[in-house]
Amino acid sequence: DGGITQSPKYLFRKEGQNVTLSCEQNLNHDAMYWYRQDPGQGLRLIYYSQIVNDFQKGDIAEGYSVSREKKESFPLTVTSAQKNPTAFYLCASSMDGNDYSGNTIYFGEGSWLTVV
């Protein structure tokens, strides 16, 4: 089945620890995104990538890092510099990162990160 796969579904981080969330898509989409969702709030953009080996900061990039070495993969690392990382993280993709017609963004099932 085509889609966006995020893993793990639940992740616990200790203070001072870096953790990495995986995102894989088999839709052959060029663009990929990471959003953060806090309870009762809308989604906020962390990072996005329009093409392999290129990515840009979103609205809340501080304390996060990404890589885009392969078209189908866009992992997100939550570093120890992110002071309030407990949230629901959503990976997404769209066909073309530059298509002006308003390309639809599709989402994965999300990963819950909790600081313990």
| Binding positions for other proteins, rule: CB under 8 A | 4, 6, 31, 33, 40-45, 48, 50, 56, 58, 88, 90, 92, 94, 96-110, 112
Distance between CA atoms of residues 3 and 23, nearest Å: 11
Least distance CB 46 / other proteins (angstroms): 11
Q: Which is nearer to other proteins, 17 or 33 (CB)?
A: 33
Q: Which is nearer to other proteins, 63 or 110 (CB)?
A: 110
